[in-house]
Amino acid sequence: MSKAAPAKKPAAAAPPPGCTLDINDPQVQRAAIRIQASYRGHRSRKELHEKGPPRVLEPLKDVVLIEGSAAKLTCRISAFPDPFIRWSKDGKELRDGPKYRYVFEDPDVVALVVRDGELADLGQYSINVTNPFGQCSDSARILVEVPAKIQKGPDNTKARKGTTVTLTAEIMGEPAPDVGWTKDGEDIEEDDRVFFEIGSTTTTLTIRRATPEDSGKYEVYVENSLGMDQSFARVDVA
C-alpha cells in the first residue's frame, strides 16, 4: 500500500489592508516619539517617589471664600513612603469632618475643603507633611467675603427731653461696609450733640440733650461691594 503524500500547509494569509506597519511612515515615527516621551514622564514620576523627606512641588495659594459656599486649598507634594498629613488654621489643628474635609485627589495632590463659609473662616491655613525621613510645610490664607448686613437693628425708643438717646445696630460684612444714619430720609449731619460711631461689629447713634425735634424715623444702612442692608427705628422725645 502506498503512503499518502503529506498535506501541504496552507500559505499564510496576507494581513488585511491597513494592518501592516511601516516603520518609515512619519505617523508611525511620531507615535513612537510620543510613547518614548510618555515613558520618560512615567520614569520622572517614579523618581519623585524615591524614598526621602517630603517636598512641596506646587505650593498653596490664597483662596477667596464667599459666605455660604465652600473653598478648597490644594497642594502638590512629593512623599514616599506615604506621609502623614495635618492641616491647621491659625496654629490650631483641623479635624477631618463635616466642616473641614481632607481630600486626596491622587498620590501627589492633597487638599482641604472648607464648607459652609462664614466670616470666622478667615485666617491662615497650613499643611504639615511628615514621613519617616522628614517633614515639610506650606501655608496660605482664606479670604472671606460677606455681603454687608445688619444682624440686629436699633430698637424703637421713647425718651424724656434733655436725656441722652442711643440707637445701636449690630453689623457685619467683609470687606468692611460703609455705614450711614438718616433721620426722616435725610442724612444726619454730625456735631457734638448728634453723632454716630462705627465699630467692627456695631454702630451707635448718640443724641445728647434730646429735644422733641429729635423725634422721628431713624434709619441705619450698611453697604459693601457684595450687598447692602438697612433697618429702621422710631424715636419719640417728650
**Span 169-212, pLDDT tens digits:** 999 999 999 999 999 999 999 999 999 999 999 999 999 999 99
pLDDT tier for residue 115 given thresholds of 50, 70 and 90: very high
Alpha-carbon radius of gyration of the chain = 35
Tell me the C-alpha distance between 207 and 154, whole Å.
Answer: 14
Q: What is the CATH number of the domain that holds 198?
A: 2.60.40.10
Q: Is residue 101 part of a domain?
A: yes
The three cell numbers locating residue 214 = 429729635
In a shared domain, residues 31 and 140: yes
Q: Which of 36-40, 112-116, 132-136 has the lowest mean pLDDT?
A: 36-40
Using an 8 Å Cβ cutoff, are 79 and 85 in contact? Answer: no
In a shared domain, residues 134 and 50: yes
Number of domains, the chain: 2
Q: Is residue 19 part of a domain?
A: no
Nearest CA to 235 out of 179, 164, 187, 149 is that of 164
Using an 8 Å Cβ cutoff, are 207 and 196 in contact? Answer: no
Q: Is residue 56 part of a domain?
A: yes
What pLDDT, on a 0 to 100 scale, did the predictor assign at position 5?
A: 46
In a shared domain, residues 134 and 229: no
Q: Which residues form the domain of 41?
A: 26-146
Final residue belonging to a domain, choices 95, 114, 146: 146
**Span 87-109, pLDDT tens digits:** 999 999 999 999 999 999 877 89
